[in-house]
Amino acid sequence: MKSMAKGRSKKRGKMTREELRILLTELGLLLFAGVIVIRLLYIQLWERSKYEAMARKQYVLEIPLEAKRGVIYDRNMNALVMNEPCISVGLDKRQMEGTSQQYAKRLAPVLGVSASWLRNRIRSVKGQFVWLRRRMDVEVAARITALNLPGIRLEKETRRVYPHHEIASHIIGFTDVDNRGIEGVELEFNELLSGEDGFITIQRDGFGRAVPENVIHRKEPVDGKSLVLTIDYILQTIATEELRNAINLYNAKSGTVVILNPQTGEILAMANEPSYNPNRAGKYSFEARRNRAVTDAYEPGSTFKIVAFAAALENRLKTADDLIFCENGIYTLRGRRIRDTKPHAWLTMQDVLAYSSNIGTVKMALELGEQRLYDMARKFGFGRETGVALPGETPGILRPISKWTSFSLASMSIGQELACNTLQLAMAYAAVANGGELLKPRIASEVIGPDRRKEPISYRQSVGRVISPETAQQLKSMLIRTVEKGTGQAAKIEGLKIAGKTGTAQRPLANGRGYSRDEFVASFVGFFPADRPKYLVLVKLDTDKEHQWGGKTAAPTFKRIVQKIRAYDRALQSEKALFTHRNGTTDKNGRQAATQELNSIVLPDLTNRQLSAVKAILEGLSLKMKAEGSGDFVLNQQPAPGTRMQKGQEVVLQLFEVVAADGYLKMPDVTGLPLRQALSKLSVMGLKPVVYGHGKVIRQKPEPGSQVRTGIRVVVECEPEVVLPTSVKVGYEQ
């Protein structure tokens, strides 16, 4: 009995194979359910936003609403940068009815790209939507719509237009395809100009197509603010034209002109060569797009001598009439020879500067000492950035005294063994002109909101006092003597007192060992009227050995610029006087109060542009338009480019159209046009120009009116011409 009970209990404690299978199945189901629950919790809690976005993407379409980028004006409210309407072409791949090859073959001729490039773009871009071309002329929209390709989307956008082409291009910069600033003030003030984009959220149907009437959400864009620069378009054009003239006259490979107000630090013009057209920035090299006035450091040569003279006067080491023996042109110091271009025996301190004696300057510097020369250079702003609101500024090179050699004091006193940018040097001379105050250069003055309210841009004007007013006056007198009797006589203008200094410097070799015998920097910096300076002009030319002397190249260029500035200034004063006479009221400064509210417009060059773009430009300038003839392009305009106009005035446009009959065109007449305008017109007609000379077109082959085939070569002969960018009659003073 006991044995039987014991056997039953053992049997009951052992799990059968069926029971084990059931248990494992139950555990497996529980584990699977647990995994499902954990996964659901993970999706619901941790990845909720991800799946919401995926769902939203399937049933809604978000269309961006682009904010209008702010306009850029010069100091007289002439538009330097504007916006014009354009379209962007995109493709929603989900709605395609055909292959990428078929789409590419039909779209390529209209979009102006190769079929292979377009096919690869459709295939390579991940995602369901791809931009095919951005910011194209609005006329293309009709041709694309006529193709009737499912999935193609046309978006209305705006693009930047630079109506004055190369004028002020290095200051302004340009934007990329997404309207983001890349260089110049477009980059520096990008956040202010760009505003904030908005969007519309629209529901899709079951096939993924947008249903425009089902708007889920709309956020309005906030337009960018506009910017008023300190530059004067007319002065900028004068600087550009005369710099180009100097480049050709003196075989210079590059150059810079800076014009500023030494009393305020406002930059009135900043021109560089080589230059570029920001409307086609991608076609130019980085060399052409670089703003050399702030990005390039160079040894200033004799223009730096004012630092040693300022230190000597400020420390009462010398007076203007103290004599210095100049060794008859050759002086040996620590085994090295220092030479003057002309031999001099005894010279007064003021004549050492006037005749730019290296020997006299070095002797004075040796007496001055390292510390006082270095301290004065730092006070003048050398070795640190000016703080101008332009990207890419170099601080230059001013080594600490601990790194000087036994010869550095002598070298630096005459502008060697250090480097500065052009704007730094201009601001140093501005400190002398304004009585001893170093100012921060200013490129932008006001911001204009979408409501048209103006807000001044605040900034710290004074960096600090460099020299006393007495020292500044003594230096000013010495610089006047330099122009009237010394090396700067080529800058002299009868009836105008000018203070200035010439400079000639060799280019250091790339390896830092010695100087080039073929590359030189010729410069001249001056300000006028010397008693109460209103303008400061600096000319710098990177030229060859034959044209190395600043007194023979940069100084005459300075003179031509000043002559035009004076004529422009007189025209403005006459205009103000006439306005005052008519209205009979003046403000506390003797100027007609209403004149300050007079927003004149400088008419841009509209020729060879498409009519739709020209309409947008003129609307933006608040000018009326009258079209004569037929066609899609502007042949001529009245008034001429550069004319100053008032809002509401009318611009007459003569139109033309490009009509090919059996492959032939009527040869346009480009004689009498500026070369750039002629090239633009020939390009529109599909003709290939061969250019001889530069300036104004005087002859062409084939003759105007003759029947020619598209793509043929056209010979264009030119000769230089001096052109003033204003309707006011302005001439050189004899």
Domain-terminating residue out of 654, 669, 695: 654
Share of the chain above pLDDT 70, in %: 85
Say which residues have a Cβ less than 8 Å from residue 342's Cβ, sequence separation at least 6.
Answer: 329, 355
The verdict on residue 593 lying in a domain is no
- Number of neighbours of residue 151 by Cβ within 10 angstroms: 18
Same structural domain, 213 and 156: yes
Closest-CA residue to 536 (of 545, 526, 549, 544): 526
Locate 362 and state its tokens: 């070095």
Same structural domain, 640 and 729: no
Q: How many Å apart are CA 57 and CA 63, to the nearest integer?
A: 12
The verdict on residue 584 lying in a domain is no
Please, what is the Cα angle at 273 between 541 and 282, to 5 degrees? 155
Which pLDDT value is given to residue 571?
74
Tell which wins on pLDDT, 251 or 674: 251
Locate 334 and state its tokens: 């620590």
Same structural domain, 310 and 348: yes
Same structural domain, 662 and 642: no
Same structural domain, 193 and 252: no
Q: How many Å apart are CA 692 and CA 158, to the nearest integer?
A: 38
The verdict on residue 585 lying in a domain is no
The verdict on residue 586 lying in a domain is no
Q: Where are the alpha helices (DSSP H) in 156-252?
A: 169-172, 184-188, 190-194, 233-249
What are 82-103's pLDDT values in tens digits?
Answer: 888 888 898 888 788 888 888 8
Same structural domain, 116 and 222: yes
Q: How many Å apart are CA 286 and CA 396, to the nearest integer?
A: 20
The verdict on residue 433 lying in a domain is yes
Q: Which domain holds residue 39?
A: 2-46
What are 118-129's pLDDT values in tens digits?
Answer: 988 888 887 778
Where would I find the beta strands (DSSP E) of 646-711?
Answer: 650-656, 664-666, 688-692, 696-701, 707-709
Same structural domain, 180 and 288: no
Q: How confident is the model at residue 59 (pLDDT cuts 50, 70, 90)?
A: low
Closest-CA residue to 538 (of 431, 427, 398, 434): 427
Which pLDDT value is given to residue 247?
93
Q: How many Å apart are CA 457 and CA 226, to the nearest integer?
A: 12
- Which CATH number belongs to the domain containing residue 112 in this structure? 3.90.1310.10
13 alpha carbon, distance to own chain's centre: 92
What are 363-409's pLDDT values in tens digits?
Answer: 999 999 999 999 999 999 999 999 999 999 999 999 999 999 999 99
Q: How many Å apart are CA 688 and CA 663, to the nearest integer?
A: 15
The verdict on residue 409 lying in a domain is yes
The verdict on residue 141 lying in a domain is yes
What are 686-723's pLDDT values in tens digits?
Answer: 677 777 777 788 888 888 877 777 667 788 888 764 43
Which pLDDT value is given to residue 728?
32
Q: What's the mean pLDDT when you consider all of the chain? A: 84
- Which CATH number belongs to the domain containing residue 498 in this structure? 3.40.710.10
Same structural domain, 626 and 709: no
> 302 an active-site residue?
yes
Edge to edge, the sheet with strand 515-528 lists 267-273, 254-260, 535-544, 515-528, 499-508
Same structural domain, 196 and 181: yes
Range in 284-288, 416-420, 681-685 the model is least confident about:
681-685
- Which CATH number belongs to the domain containing residue 633 in this structure? 3.30.10.20
What are 317-372's pLDDT values in tens digits?
Answer: 999 999 999 999 999 998 899 999 899 999 999 999 999 999 999 999 999 999 99
* Residue 578 scores a pLDDT above 60: no
Closest-CA residue to 431 (of 258, 265, 257, 268): 265
Locate 678 and state its tokens: 């002629």
Residue the block writes with tokens 């400020």: 314
Same structural domain, 245 and 216: no
Q: How confident is the model at residue 631 (pLDDT cuts 50, 70, 90)?
A: confident
Same structural domain, 120 and 177: yes
Same structural domain, 163 and 265: no
How many domains is the chain partitioned into structurally? 5
The verdict on residue 238 lying in a domain is yes
From the list 100, 254, 275, 302, the catalytic residue is 302
Cα end-to-end distance, the chain, whole Å: 146
Structure letter (DSSP) for residue 419: B
What are 256-272's pLDDT values in tens digits?
Answer: 999 999 999 999 999 99
Would you list the DSSP string of 603-655?
PP--TTSBHHHHHHHHHHTT-EEEEES-SSEEEEEESPTT-EE-TT-EEEEEE
Domain-terminating residue out of 229, 245, 262: 229
Domain-terminating residue out of 205, 229, 253: 229
Locate 298 and state its tokens: 């160079």
